[in-house]
Amino acid sequence: MTEEIALESIVEVPLVGLGFRAPFAEWILQKPNTIDCIELTAEHFFDGGEAQLEKLRERYPISVHGLGLSLGTPGKLDAITLDNFKHVANLANARWISEHIAFTKTDDVDLGHLNPVPLKKTSLRTLVDHSREVMDVCQRPLLLENITSYLRVPEEIPETEFINQLCQEAGVGLLLDVTNLFINGQNHQFDPLNWLHQIEPTFIQQLHIVGYSFQAGVWHDRHNEPIQEELFELARKVISYAPVESIIIERDGAFPSCDQIENELKRLEEICESARSY
């Protein structure tokens, strides 16, 4: 038997992992079999944590995710934040780094969270330049993530085309947040699959997923719910469509037991296998 059969049974599936958060820290450091990789939030390590990073680096492939570089803001990037970001990426020996297609501040105001950039050529230029600068400074590949927003900005360039051009011109990949895509689709009445199929599949390198919240007729991205069935299904379709390398559960609140997270990781593993077993 069966050499042929054995060969056919090999499938490449994305790594399945978890965002590193305090309530899961001890469990993650035990290196459970269900966790293939880890994503760190850079800002969580700006004040130290070198020993913890070293332990993580010994156990997992790591990606480093940023929140505060505000790549969509025209002008210079904040040098201190970028320097700190680079330091964490180096300590973690990050396989890649990631940020958002968004702005969090301007020269005048700091909004503290992610906001959509105007989908215009000027914003595209800003994002391309800043992405290249981040890669030059950090000397690592960069992925950019789609955000969720209650505000749908007027589109001079359609969002999917904007993302394709951004990835192409800056040489970055897309960190596709499945939950954000689903939420935006629901709140702004568009079909997430239609949106997905307008994105060049080879750009999609990593996925984020976490349960959505629904309140008063609006979908929210609060990172504090278990992953719902529609999201698993959407993730399966994305993994079938694109050569995704890893998928990360991004839980930030109402932390469940490690057993519950483990069940979600196993479910994602099954989804990855079924999506790639064609």
Partner 1 sequence: MSQLALTEILGLLLQDSRLRKRLAKNRTAVMRELGVAQEQASFINGLNLQQLEAQAESLIRKRQYEASRVIPETWSRLGRHGQVHFRKYADQAPWPQGHRRHFIDAAMFCDVIKSIGLSGYLKSEHQRVAFLAGHQRFSIRIVNDLIVNKKEYWAIQFCIRRKETTFSQAYHFGCSRKRKRPLIAGLAAKPETSWGKKRKSITRSLEETDESLHQCRGFSLKKKRD
By CB under 8 A, the residues from 234 to 263 that bind partner 1 are 245-246, 253, 255-259, 262
Q: Which stretch binds partner 1 (CB under 8 A): 153-161, 177-185, 190-198, 231-239?
A: 153-161
**Stretch of residues binding partner 1 (CB under 8 A), selected from 24-32, 157-165, 177-185, 225-233:** 24-32
Q: Which of residues 184-213 bind partner 1 (CB under 8 A)?
A: 202-203, 205
Q: Does 72 bind partner 1 (CB under 8 A)?
A: yes
The token pair at 116 is 């959509």
The nearest distance, CB 182 to partner 1, in angstroms, is 17
Backbone angles phi, psi at 65, to 5 degrees: -110, 130
If residue 222 lies in a helix (H) or strand (E), which one and from where to where?
strand 218-225
- Residues constituting the chain: 278
Stretch binding partner 1 (CB under 8 A), from 99-107, 176-184, 189-197, 228-236: 99-107
Contact 123, 154 (CB under 8 A): no
**Residue 267 near partner 1 by CB under 8 A:** no
Q: Is 64 in the site for partner 1 (CB under 8 A)?
A: no
Longest CA–CA span in the chain (Å) reads 69
Of 159-178, which residues contact partner 1 (CB under 8 A)? Answer: 167, 171-173
What crossing angle do the helices spanning 121-138 and 79-92 adopt, rounded to 10°?
50
Q: What amino acid is encoded at 54 in this protein?
A: E
CA distance 193 to 212: 17
Q: Say if CB 246 and CB 206 are below 8 A apart.
A: yes
Quick one: CA dihedral 115, 61, 134, 83, positive or negative? positive
216 binds partner 1 (CB under 8 A): no
Looking only at residues 129 through 148 of this chain, which bind partner 1 when binding is defined by CB under 8 A? Answer: 132, 135, 139-141, 143
Using CB under 8 A, pick the residue from 2, 3, 4, 22 that binds partner 1: 22
Q: Is 84 in the site for partner 1 (CB under 8 A)?
A: yes
178-187 helix and 229-241 helix, angle to the nearest 10 degrees? 110
The only residue of 64, 91, 149, 242 in contact with partner 1, by rule CB under 8 A:
149
Least distance to partner 1 from the beta carbon of 113, Å?
5
Binding of partner 1 by 44 (CB under 8 A): yes
